[in-house]
Structure 1
Amino acid sequence: MESRKLKVLILTALIAAICVIGSFIKVPGFLATSALDSAPAFISVAFLPPVYSGLAGALGHLATSMLSGFPLGSFHFIIAAEMFIIVYLFNVLHRKSYNIIKWIFLIVSNGIGSALPFYFLISPAFFFSAVPSLLIATIINAVVAIIVLPAITRVFKREEVCNE
């Protein structure tokens, strides 16, 4: 395996592991799976390609749901797929230097949009109950990423690790 690809895989595994650690830090609210599991995936856009950042975000959610006892059952696989797509697109926006749009996209898509399928799959009451805690958890994860991302970006630009 070539050196660059190995670095990307190792960094992806490390970010996924940090997402697992973040999943232990719960955000109180209606959803038992709201936690600080997304921030590492959001930060990984500084040095991982979009697919790998998305994968780390999906694995982070699955870890959080496992630690919470899978309260939504198999629906957590839908949420993991949503996390993959959201983090993937956030990474693409970051790479294209859409600095304000990427944060708006992240907060709206993760804080509100990710709950939208459950309006139809579970109930409107579930959706309206889930959005406040999901939005708060998303904002907290985004604030952590906003604080850390500039420093991480500078470090990885200097080191030229995993940049496409």
Structure 2
Amino acid sequence: MKKVSKITLVGIFVAFSFVLSFIKLPSPFGSVALDSFPGFFLATFSPLLGGVVALLGHFFTSWNSGFPFGFYHIFIAIEMLLITWIFGNLYLKNKIIAIIIGVFLNGIISPLTVIPLIGLKAVISFIPFLIFASFINIIFAFITNLGVQKYPKVGELYEKN
């Protein structure tokens, strides 16, 4: 894919992520939203580009939630890039394993990193909401990918890492 096409594609998905960052899912913190769906979807074709979109999507949700974890959101955004990249690489090999690992990493492992900030009890109470949100975002990406696969031009989005 040409460089301009990649930039345009990422721009469209970043804009989509921005809009979805305003659609919050129920949780004790306001920073759980549908912002990672575009990143997970793009990762099904290009794990790195999907990771970049997920990183920026986390910043959008954090921003419009008032940055509840302060500068710690930088670390969380990097986690989102890594989780989405791992998901995308697994998705290209085994879709079901990718969904399971993606939900596990995003819903269970990732929140453990904020234990020093909010404590173990708060993290444990937060995990069910993150599992739900991770599942919704990843399943939306999976379903959208199934629908888009019917169009041959979509195959051009795939890039080998």
Q: TM-score, normalized by length of structure 1?
A: 0.90
Q: Which has the higher contact order (CA 8 A, sep 6+)?
A: 1
Work out whether 1:65 is the aligned partner of 2:68.
no
Separation of aligned partners in 2, 1:146 and 1:163: 15
- Is the 1:16–1:60 Cα contact (8 Å) retained in structure 2? yes
Work out whether 1:54 is the aligned partner of 2:51.
yes
| Corresponding position of 2:150 | 154
Separation of aligned partners in 2, 1:5 and 1:11: 10
* Distance verdict in 2 for CA 1:71–1:120, change over 3 Å: closer
Separation of aligned partners in 2, 1:43 and 1:88: 11
Post-superposition CA distance 1:4-45 (Å, at most 9, x none)? 111111101111111111111000111210001111111112
Q: Which amino acid aligns with 1:162?
A: L
Structure 2's unaligned 5+ residue stretches are none
Post-superposition CA distance 1:113-158 (Å, at most 9, x none)? 1101112443111211211211111122122122211122332xx1
Percent identity among equivalent residues? 34
Separation of aligned partners in 1, 2:158 and 2:129: 34
Structure 1's unaligned 5+ residue stretches are none
Q: Which amino acid aligns with 1:85?
A: L
- Is the 2:87–2:98 Cα contact (8 Å) retained in structure 1? yes
| Corresponding position of 2:32 | 34
93, 98, 101: which one aligns with 1:102: 98
Q: TM-score, normalized by length of structure 2?
A: 0.91
Alignment root-mean-square deviation, CA: 1.4
- Is the 2:51–2:83 Cα contact (8 Å) retained in structure 1? yes
Report the number of matched residues.
158
104, 108, 111: which one aligns with 1:112: 108
